[in-house]
Amino acid sequence: MTLNEAYKILGASSRDDDREIKTKYKKLLIMYHPDSDPNGNRNPEDDDKIRLVIEAYKKIRESAGETVTDSYEFTWDAFENRTAFSERNIYVQFRIFDEDLPLSRMARGRFVWDPDMEDFPLFTKSVLEACKEVMTVNMSMPDADKIKDIFNYMMQEYVLPADAARKLGNKISDDGKLETYSFSGYLKEDISQGIRISEKNIGEPLNIFLREDRAVVEEIVTGKIIGSVSFDEDELYYVVLPLLEDPEVNASATITRSDINNYSGSGRIRSRAGNKRLQVIIKLNIPKGLKDTPVSNRKLIIKLLK
């Protein structure tokens, strides 16, 4: 097998970085894994395809001077938070053309969420299942508020915010010490503060921080709250918000023109119903060596289960 053939098998190229190559490799392993067909009609040729995929990955890594010892056995190799309260299932959704196959359960354990490998809706499904399992085992009466609280505590145990931010964010700079990633959100004005967003706010640096579990932005000079930030991608609530509380992460925000529909004659931006939302770009400066500390909410969960 030549190096070019190896790249072709993985659907990769020499321009891909190490993480991109490994992600494509792992996704192919999942695709040809014995559990990929829950109906048991797996093609025997898939075993040969797995061997080719592993050989191709090994060829690429060795060309970079690394030694690869992957076996033919597939394992879910995401980091495990041993202190997490409960195990959970790992689900993968396979497709044939435009048809979704039944969900495949690829593993079970205290695995943290890997954005490269696990779709967020399937991740939240697995955590909600684990939450309900815990309540059933502990004979806790089902209660919407209790389920919501336990679910959120479990989500915190399975998400490593800095690691996920590096995979989900748009990397815009890296000086060897700090990596800067940007994320897109939307601003809801806080009219009670007496501040209306105007054209002068476009591109102006704003403070962003966490208040009562919400990301809020304020003017740097006046310190007045402009509004709160929401996201279209639910996963960002579990990634960006915790990093806003991390003292090692520096955060800033700016309002952009790209999602603004109307301006009034006075230069004031109209952001009422019927107009587009105000887009906010959030920048997070994350120290290169910053590593997540896995969270354990065992005591809080046990208290809710009583």
Residue 122 confidence (pLDDT) above 70: yes
- Span 56-82, mean pLDDT? 75
pLDDT-derived band at 35, boundaries 50, 70, 90: low
Least confident of 68-72, 112-116, 119-123: 68-72
pLDDT in the model for residue 180: 97
pLDDT at position 139: 80
Domains of the chain: 3-63 (1.10.287.110), 88-160+299-305 (no CATH), 178-287 (2.40.280)
Q: Which residues contact 122 (CB under 8 A, 6 or more apart)?
A: 91, 92, 93, 103
Q: How much is the pLDDT for 73?
A: 53
Percent of the chain at pLDDT > 90 equals 43
| Length of the chain in terms of residues written | 306
Among 122-126, 136-140, 214-218, 229-233, which stretch is predicted with the lowest mean pLDDT?
Answer: 136-140
Give the per-residue pLDDT at 246.
Answer: 95
Confidence of residue 195 (pLDDT cuts 50, 70, 90): low
The CA distance from 183 to 168, in Å, is: 8
Q: Is the pLDDT of residue 37 over 80?
A: no
| Collapsed DSSP state (helix, strand, coil) of residue 242 | helix
What would the pLDDT profile of 132-178 be if each residue is shown by its tens digit?
A: 999 988 887 778 889 999 999 999 999 999 999 999 999 999 998 99
Choose among 200, 195, 174: nearest CA to 254.
200
11 versus 74: the higher-pLDDT residue is 11
Instruction: Using the predicted structure, report yes or no on whether residue 209 has a pLDDT greater than 90.
Output: yes
d(CA 247, CA 176): 19
Which of the 8 DSSP states describes residue 165?
H
pLDDT band per the 50, 70, 90 thresholds, residue 91: confident
pLDDT, the chain, mean: 82
In terms of average pLDDT, the best of 6-20, 68-82, 265-279 is 6-20
Q: Is the pLDDT of residue 222 over 90?
A: no
Question: Which segment of 50-64, 135-149, 206-220, 221-235 scores lowest on mean pLDDT?
Answer: 50-64
State the pLDDT confidence band at 303, using cuts at 50, 70 and 90. Answer: very high
Burial class (CB in 10 A: 0-12, 13-18, 19+), 288: exposed
> Is the model's pLDDT at 233 over the cut of 80?
yes
Confidence of residue 258 (pLDDT cuts 50, 70, 90): low
Q: CA torsion, points 104, 108, 114, 120, in degrees to nearest 10?
A: 50
Residue 71 predicted with pLDDT over 70: no
- Contact assessment for residue 218 and residue 211, using Cβ atoms and an 8 Å cutoff: no
Report percent pLDDT > 70 for the chain.
Answer: 78
Q: Given this model, what pLDDT does residue 276 score?
A: 54
Cα first-last separation, the chain: 60
Q: Give one DSSP letter per residue of 251-283, joined into a string.
A: EEEEE-STT--EE-TTSBEE-STTSPPEEEEEE
